[in-house]
């Protein structure tokens, strides 16, 4: 293959790749957490915030969860779904260590991304006093 033909083949392949890169996007989400959003609601001065970013090209969700003033140390924390406010659902993303701050990334499937975009995920922090969850916040697009 000549250099010209090889160069044209490379340019053609690059031209097809660039449009897909142009559609990649970072989408920001947030969850303000408190005890009133728990189902059922809890009594706690605890509060927190989760900041999440979805990279649409890699389908990776990054997260940072911080909280304070819980009734006792956190025993578990997760992203749950799919569920709208007022409903409970199973764990989608378990966090390895529930100590604040919780920082990490996780890959998502297309179905999980659709639930996230539809507002059907929430972040929940559990304690020994509030085993079902002490603070919770619905994940919303920013």
Q: Would 132 be classed as within a structural domain?
A: yes
pLDDT of 55-90, one tens digit each?
999 999 999 999 999 999 999 999 999 999 999 999
Its pTM stands at: 0.83
Q: Would 68 be classed as within a structural domain?
A: yes
Q: Would 7 be classed as within a structural domain?
A: no
Residue 68 vs residue 12, higher pLDDT: 68
Model pLDDT, residue 24: 79
Q: Would 37 be classed as within a structural domain?
A: yes
Q: 50: domain range?
A: 24-141
Number of domains in the chain: 1
Band of the pLDDT at 140, cuts 50, 70, 90? very high
Q: Would 30 be classed as within a structural domain?
A: yes
Q: Would 12 be classed as within a structural domain?
A: no
Q: Would 113 be classed as within a structural domain?
A: yes
Query: Three-state SS string across the chain, please?
Result: CCHHHHHHHHHHHHHHHHHHHHCCCEEEEEEEEEHHHCCCCCCCCCEEEEEEEEECCCCEEEEEEEEECCCCCEEEEEEECCCCCCCCCCEEEECCCCCCCEEEEEECCHHHHHHHHCCCCEEEEEECCCCCCCEEEECEEC
């Amino acid at each position: 293959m000549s250099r010209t033909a090889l160069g044209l083949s490379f340019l053609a392949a690059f031209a097809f790749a660039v449009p897909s890169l142009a559609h990649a996007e970072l989408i920001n989400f947030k969850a303000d957490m408190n005890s009133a959003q728990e189902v059922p609601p809890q009594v706690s001065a605890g509060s927190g915030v989760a900041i999440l970013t979805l990279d649409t090209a890699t389908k990776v969700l990054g997260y940072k969860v911080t909280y304070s003033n819980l009734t006792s140390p956190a025993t578990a924390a997760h992203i749950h779904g799919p569920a709208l406010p007022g409903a409970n659902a199973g764990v989608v993303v378990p966090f390895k260590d529930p100590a604040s701050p919780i920082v990490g990334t996780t890959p998502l499937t297309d179905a999980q991304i659709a639930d996230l975009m539809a507002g059907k995920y929430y972040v929940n922090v559990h304690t020994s006093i509030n085993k079902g969850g002490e603070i919770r916040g619905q994940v919303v697009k920013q």
